[in-house]
Amino acid sequence: MERIAALSTGTKLMLASATLLFFDLFLTWQKLPQRFGGKFDVTDNLDAWDGWGLLLGLLALSLLTLLILRETDVELSPEVPWNRITLGITGAMLVIALLKNLTDAHSAWASYAGIGFAALAVVGAYLDRDRIQPERERPLAEEWKPRVRASPGPAPSGRASEHRATAAESEPQAAEPSSRW
C-alpha cells in the first residue's frame, strides 16, 4: 500500500481509468434493435471490440505498460519526454472513444462510461505533465580487477623442460600456448 500511496495523483488517475476503460470495452457499447419478418423485435448487444475499440484497447494497454515501467525500477531513457508521451496516448484514447461513440448507432451506457474513463486519463496525464521523475539510485559499479590465473602445476623434470624454460625466458610469447580462435 505504501507504493500506491507514493504515486502521484495523476498516475493514480491514469492507472485506475485505463484499467477501468480496458474492462469497460468488454461491456455492451451498442444496443442495435433489429426486426425479423415484421413480427419480432430483437436487440443485438455489441461490445467495443471492433476496429476503433481494438485500437482503444491497445492504447489502454500501452498506457498501463508505460506507467508500470515508469514506476518500477526499470531504467528508461531520461532524454525521452515520457510525461508528454503519456499525455499523447491519453489524448488519443479520448479522441478514439469519442469517435467510436459518435460513429456507432444506438450507443449504450458503457460507451459513455468509456468516454468518461478516457477523459479521466487525460486529466491524470495533464496533472503529471510537468512532474519530474526522481533520480533512481544506481548501485556503484565494482572496480575492475584482473582475475588471478591458477598455476599450471609442477613443471615436468628433464632436459626438454629446461629447454622450454630458457625459451620462455627469452621469448615471453612462447610461455603461453597460442590459440588461433
Residues 64-97 have pLDDT tens digits of 999 999 888 788 888 888 899 999 999 999 999 9
User: For 9-59, how does the pLDDT look when each residue is reduced to its tens digit (9 = 90+)?
Assistant: 999 999 999 999 999 999 988 888 888 877 788 888 888 888 899 999 999
User: For 111-140, how does the pLDDT look when each residue is reduced to its tens digit (9 = 90+)?
Assistant: 999 999 999 999 999 999 887 765 655 555
Q: HSE-up of 106 (CA within 13 Å, CB side)?
A: 11
143 in any annotated domain: no
pTM of structure: 0.69
- Between 42 and 175, the more confident residue is 42
Domain carrying residue 108 = 18-127
Q: How many domains does the chain have?
A: 1
163 in any annotated domain: no
27 in any annotated domain: yes
167 in any annotated domain: no
Do residues 89 and 59 lie in contact, with contact meaning Cβ atoms separated by under 8 Å?
A: yes
132 in any annotated domain: no
